[in-house]
Amino acid sequence: MALIKNKPSLSKRFRGFSLIELMIAMLVLAFGLVGGAAVISTAIASNGRSRFDTTATALAESTMEKIVAIPSRAQGAAASTSIIDCAGTSFPVSTAVGGAALITDGIFTGYIDFLKPAVPNYSMLYTTCAAGSNTVYDVRWRIDPGPTPFTQLVTVSAKNLGQAGNTADKRFALPVMLRTVRGTF
């Protein structure tokens, strides 16, 4: 005697996704896409900040090299130089002891204080030119007596004035700061 198998009904054989299963799958996909978009936008913003920081670092290094190239014992006109930005503005650079105000308390003690007014010949609003856009950096420096009689401590700091946080409240964007000692030991 042969066994007869029951055929599945049409409703079970052609059963696909239900509307609820489809909605759950679409919800999971939507969360994945939104998360991916958030990661991409964060990466783009981080890349932009890195570009501004790299330019600020290069500008601070260039300014420091100009200052350190002048002997620490130089006086008068021999103690100054100049820097020209891409807009053609010439900035005098004094290398005598003095300069920008420093922060005197808190965790940023010793950093150049960008909340204080800029000191002439110890600061510049340097414009960099790029394809289609110019960016302005606030560059300040200070020269202090060094650890020995013939040395000086040079501090140079630069920050982008257009970066988020710099225009409304300058305390939130940290500048790039470099220090070195110049002179004869």
What is the rounded distance in angstroms from the CA atom of residue 96 to the CA atom of residue 115? 23
- For the chain, what is the mean pLDDT? 83
- Tokens of residue 63, six digits: 């300014």
> Which of 162, 78, 146, 153 shows the shortest CA–CA distance to 112?
153
- What is the end-to-end Cα distance of the chain in Å, rounded? 111
Is pLDDT larger for residue 54 or for residue 103?
Answer: 103
**Bridge partners (DSSP) listed for residue 102:** 112
Q: How confident is the model at residue 5 (pLDDT cuts 50, 70, 90)?
A: low
51 three-class SS: helix
Q: For the ranges 12-26, 57-71, 86-100, 118-132, which has the lowest average pLDDT?
A: 12-26
Q: What is the pTM of this model?
A: 0.71
Spatial CB neighbours of 15, under 8 Å, sequence gap ≥ 6: none
Spatial CB neighbours of 181, under 8 Å, sequence gap ≥ 6: 146, 147, 151, 152, 153, 154
Spatial CB neighbours of 175, under 8 Å, sequence gap ≥ 6: 56, 111, 112, 114, 138, 157, 158, 159
Report CA 11 to chain centroid distance, whole Å. 63
**pLDDT tens digit sequence for 19-41:** 888 899 999 999 999 998 888 88
Element (H, E) at 135: strand 133-145
> Which of 47, 61, 13 shows the shortest CA–CA distance to 158?
61
